[in-house]
Every structure is written in structure tokens, then in C-alpha cells.
Amino acid sequence: MIAYVTVGADDIARAKQFYTAFLPALGYGLDEGPEGLSYTLPVEPGQRPALPDFYVKPTFDGRPATAGNGSMVAFEANNQTQVQDLHAAALAAGGTDEGQPGFRAAYGPHFYVGYLRDPEGNKIALFSSDPNDPTRDG
């Protein structure tokens, strides 16, 4: 199981604007500190943490943050409408489009996904794959 994912950011305020545009709608809460941003899912008392956590932090070595070639972080939305809404919100919050929400033939008939990049260039996917989605457009 993946416990956490970390992406680097040189401008934490700009990263916060971007990620806060869609992660809270997926259930993530934000804890902000001098070490950066920590987005976590809620934990019921007596339960183990829901994973993965998502961290946005300055680089440890002090060099500029860069996006990994071939790296991508995907977040699952509740339905296609939410993919569309969150993709638009992330773009309005400083992201860049890497592929409008839609079906991708290479991934099968149920995988609905939109791609974007955060302000540092990290690739992000927002997807839904529920074949019983009442908002399904195909």
C-alpha cells in the first residue's frame, strides 16, 4: 500500500492555491506548517489513517523543484461530473491543461480522466471509473 506521495514546490502559496482547489472536495484536509503542506484524509477515532497522504514541500536539497519525467499522481473522484468540476477548478487555480476530461480508449470503456499539471509541472490525473455512475456520458 502506498503510504504517502510527496511533490516538490518552490512557491508553497501558489501550490496551496492549486491543490486546495480540488483536494478538499475529495475529502482531504490540509495541515500547513513551515515544512510545507500536508493533505490527509480524515481518521475516525480508533481507526488507522486512510492512505495515501499527499505532501507538497520545498525540496530538501535546496535546489529548484522539478517534475519527474513519467511521474504522475492520480486522484479518484466520485463521478464524471466531479472530474469535470475539479479539473476546471484546478485550471482556474493556476494549473495547466494536459488533457480535458473524457474517456481514453487505451484505458477501457469505464475510465474517465482529465489531466493537468500543477504550477511546478507535476502531472496530476483526476479520474472516475464507475460504470454505474449516474452522471456517466458514454
Domain ranges of the chain: 4-128
Predicted pLDDT at 138: 62
pLDDT, tens digit (0-9, with 9 covering 90-100), for 26-45: 999 999 998 999 999 999 89
User: Is pLDDT larger for residue 49 or for residue 57?
Assistant: 57
The model's pLDDT over 111-121, given as tens digits with 9 standing for 90+, comes to 999 999 999 99
Mean pLDDT of 78-105: 96
CATH code for the part of the protein at 4-128: 3.10.180.10
Region 42-50: mean pLDDT is: 91
33-42, 60-69, 129-138: lowest mean pLDDT where?
129-138
Mean residue pLDDT of the chain comes to: 94
DSSP the chain: ---EEEEE-S-HHHHHHHHTTTTGGGT-EEEEETTEEEEE----TTSPPPS-EEEEE--SSSSPP-PPTT-EEEEE-SSHHHHHHHHHHHHHTT-EEEEEEEE-GGG-TT-EEEEEE-TT--EEEEEE--TT-TT---
The structure's pTM equals 0.90
